């Protein structure tokens, strides 16, 4: 690899310090960078500092511009430019999408057959996005009579969606426009009534459900439900048999569901079962049977069935899949003659088929570690199911399984252009013992002809570890750019996910959050000690709550890492969780704790990355964020970088890049986002080149 040296002569921006005293529980904290918070995103001092940080980042990375371009073209070159999804049948029509050439977005179609007869263009997202720097298509909803289309769009990356309607055959828009929504559109069966969730524009919390009748003004819409407990997220759905409209409410430890007859949209939403604290469940209905996925007397969840007469009384529910301490039940998909249950044991997903008549059986996959998930199966009256599959060495694949026999047929596999050959790569699943004696699952992959396990390979370690979200080992064409340069890529499945069941999640949240950081650090040390990575060539990455992981790790074990990628990171945990006006704060109390309570205040304060910056050496760090991020506000990484510059005692790089047009998900479009990825890869490879 040609030696490439980044420009370390540029002067880093030094932020103004304005002391603000924050008081809680008779304690004081001094925050010199609180002034960086600007909810209106209009303060010139804030904008000037962000621009200065961007200019500094660009100046330092300028020697890597050629490498960034090379990597961007490399990433782009693996993508099949002309591509389409596998058509899926929903009612009378088959639906699919296509992308062509250098288009950033898809075109959505429907046809009267799987082969594309009478193909009709529904939406060309390239046209919709053409006048916007950022564009996200939310959801598309077709009316029950197949005549009307509703879609939602976000044009400023705040996840505030506008809903529009069009008549499909005439390709004409209706006058109806619904502003400030969550993006979901649920049709009643009369083809003229829709329901949507309206957002609070300050907290960005969806807490009200409105009914809209086509042909009327949004000002005349009727509020049909309002949730007073702002710890709940709100979503809408429809039962599998399209007979019920559903309001789904979900807090970290409690869920709730209200339903309405889809044929009676002027009726009242009512609870199927009473709300009960710490009861997490999901209900679906097909025909006369209700199926309930629940943690009632089942920490790792189980599945019950009920009827209209018994659904409101848990004691009358019938056990369908019993609770097991070593198996996490993750969900169930209903078919007329089958139920497909998703489970996880020892970290690995499996699907169990339950025919209405006959013995249940599991579907088989071969890789040592993989990701799989139920695909789009809108038609319940079928004997086949689509399942997505991917592993660290197998590109994303769509299979169709025969639910009678378990036989599978590959419908499509992601094409990886260039010289990719899966046989060149090896995946492994390791169990690494942490400092408290708990075994942590690790999924890793490397290129066989470049891996020596002698402590010379660079190591790229990724982690998340929050909300019970499991980062499964799936294929990434982007990571090939590192694997083909000798990197070992490892995913640390730290506590805070549900990789090993619900207990694995609970041991990585609230007062146990430190376990997530310990696990990640212990995995790093073990991988180096066992020869998977060179001790002076370790890189780590995490985003959002994974950015919190990175912030804590570099405070607690900075000496282990050469470079850190910290994306849209949650870093100022204590201050954010004390402020209920910040979007989504109240929803997070059951994850991090409510610091208005003294115990939670103390345990958050003990690890919060912003509050625990100290006078010490830190690794090279690249921080990226979006100015319009609605989940982790831009000022969290902005403040963290400013304070880190004040305290750190090394000459390592600390770079901060803000995309002034994007939000939590980064740049929109299938190619624009590759520039962000190329920047991170170039940062890693440049640091490696300097060794």
Known catalytic residue: 512?
no
Catalytic one of 443, 544, 630, 686 = 544
Calpha distance 478→74 (Å, rounded): 9
Task: Label each residue of 140-177 as H, E or C.
Answer: EEECCCCCEEEEEEECCCCCCEEEEEEECCCCEEEEEE
Catalytic residue among 154, 472, 629, 659: 629
How is residue 93 written in tokens? 């029509």
The whole-angstrom separation of Cα 452 and Cα 534 is: 11
C-beta atoms surrounding 16 within 10 Å: 11
| Strand-strand pairing, 408-413 and 397-402 | antiparallel
Angle at 135 between CA 579 and CA 72, to 5 degrees: 100
3-state secondary structure of 271: strand
> Quick check: 513 and 496 in contact, CB under 8 A?
yes
Cα–Cα nearest to 205, from 612, 585, 684: 585
Cα separation of the two ends of the chain: 11
Residues 6+ apart with CB under 8 A from 554: 561, 564, 609, 618, 619, 621
Beta-strand runs (E) in 279-391: 281-286, 289-294, 302-306, 318-321, 327-334, 338-345, 348-355, 361-362, 370-374, 384-391
Judge whether 629 counts as a catalytic residue: yes
- SS3 per residue for 194-233: EEEEEECCCCCCEEEEEEEECCCCHHHCEEEEECCCCCCE
Counting every residue, how long is the chain? 691
Is 664 catalytic? The answer is yes
Structural contact between residues 545 and 569, judged by C-beta atoms closer than 8 angstroms: no
Catalytic residue among 397, 443, 664, 686: 664
Structure tokens at 291: 């199926």
Distances (CA, A) of 531 to 9, 203, 460, 621: 35, 47, 14, 24
Instruction: Return the active site residues.
Output: 544, 629, 664
């Amino acid at each position: 690899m040609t030696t490439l040296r980044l420009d370390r002569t540029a002067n880093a921006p030094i932020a103004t310090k304005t002391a603000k005293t924050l008081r809680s529980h008779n304690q004081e904290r001094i925050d010199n960078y609180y002034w960086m918070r600007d909810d209106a995103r209009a303060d010139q001092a804030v904008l000037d500092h962000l621009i200065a940080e961007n200019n500094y980042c660009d100046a330092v990375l300028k020697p890597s511009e050629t490498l960034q371009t090379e990597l961007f073209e490399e990433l782009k070159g693996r993508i099949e430019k002309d591509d389409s999804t596998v058509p899926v049948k929903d009612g009378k029509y088959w639906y699919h999408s296509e992308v062509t050439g250098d288009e950033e977005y898809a075109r959505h179609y429907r046809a009267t057959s799987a082969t594309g007869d009478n193909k009709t263009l529904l939406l060309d997202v390239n046209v919709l996005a053409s006048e916007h720097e950022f564009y996200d298509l939310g959801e598309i909803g077709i009316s029950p009579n197949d005549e009307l289309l509703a879609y939602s769009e976000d044009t400023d990356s705040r996840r505030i969606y506008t809903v529009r309607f069009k008549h499909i055959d005439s390709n004409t828009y209706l006058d109806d426009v619904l502003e400030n929504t969550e993006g979901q559109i649920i049709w009643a069966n009369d083809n003229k009534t829709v329901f949507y969730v309206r957002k609070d524009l300050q907290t960005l919390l969806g807490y009200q459900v409105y009914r809209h009748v086509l042909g009327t003004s949004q000002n005349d819409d009727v509020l049909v439900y309002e949730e007073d407990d702002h710890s709940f997220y709100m979503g809408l759905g429809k039962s599998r048999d399209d007979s019920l409209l559903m309001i789904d409410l979900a807090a970290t430890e409690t869920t709730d569901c209200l339903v309405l007859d889809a044929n009676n949209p002027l009726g009242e939403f009512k609870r199927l079962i009473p709300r009960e604290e710490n009861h997490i469940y999901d209900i679906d209905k097909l025909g006369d049977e209700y199926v309930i996925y629940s943690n009632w007397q089942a920490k790792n969840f189980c599945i019950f069935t009920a009827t209209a007469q018994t659904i409101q009384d848990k004691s009358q529910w019938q056990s369908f899949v019993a609770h097991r301490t070593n198996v996490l039940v993750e969900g169930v998909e209903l078919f007329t003659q089958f139920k497909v249950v998703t489970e996880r044991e020892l970290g690995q997903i499996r699907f169990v088929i339950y025919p209405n008549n006959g013995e249940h059986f599991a579907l088989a996959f071969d890789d040592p570690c993989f990701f799989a998930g139920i695909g789009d199966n809108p038609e319940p009256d079928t004997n086949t199911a689509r399942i997505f599959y991917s592993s660290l060495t197998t590109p994303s694949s769509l299979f169709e399984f025969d639910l009678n026999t378990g036989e599978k047929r590959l419908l499509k596999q992601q094409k990886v252009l260039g010289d990719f050959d899966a046989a060149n790569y090896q995946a492994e699943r390791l169990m690494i013992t942490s400092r408290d004696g708990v075994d942590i699952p690790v999924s890793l992959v490397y290129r066989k002809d470049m891996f020596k396990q002698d402590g010379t390979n660079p190591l790229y370690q990724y982690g998340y570890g929050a909300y019970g979200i499991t980062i499964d080992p799936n294929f990434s064409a982007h990571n090939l750019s590192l694997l083909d340069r000798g990197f070992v890529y490892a995913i640390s499945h730290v506590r805070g996910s549900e990789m090993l069941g619900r207990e694995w999640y609970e041991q990585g949240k609230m007062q146990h959050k430190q376990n997530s950081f310990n696990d990640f650090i212990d995995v790093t040390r073990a991988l180096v000690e066992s020869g998977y990575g060179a001790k002076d060539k370790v890189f780590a990455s995490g985003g959002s709550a994974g950015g919190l992981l990175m912030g804590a790790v570099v405070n607690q074990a900075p000496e282990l890492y050469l470079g850190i990628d910290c994306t849209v990171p949650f870093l100022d945990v204590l201050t954010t969780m004390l402020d209920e006006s910040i979007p989504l704060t109240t929803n997070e109390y059951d994850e991090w704790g409510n610091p208005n309570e003294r115990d939670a205040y103390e345990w958050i304060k003990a690890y919060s990355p912003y509050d625990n910056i100290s006078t010490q050496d830190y690794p090279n760090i690249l921080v990226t964020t979006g100015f319009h991020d609605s989940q982790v506000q831009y000022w969290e990484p902005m403040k963290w970088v400013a304070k880190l510059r004040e305290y750190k005692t090394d000459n390592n790089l600390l770079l901060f890049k803000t995309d002034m047009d994007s939000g939590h998900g980064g740049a929109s479009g299938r190619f624009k986002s590759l520039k962000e990825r190329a920047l991170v890869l170039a940062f890693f490879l440049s640091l490696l080149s300097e060794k």
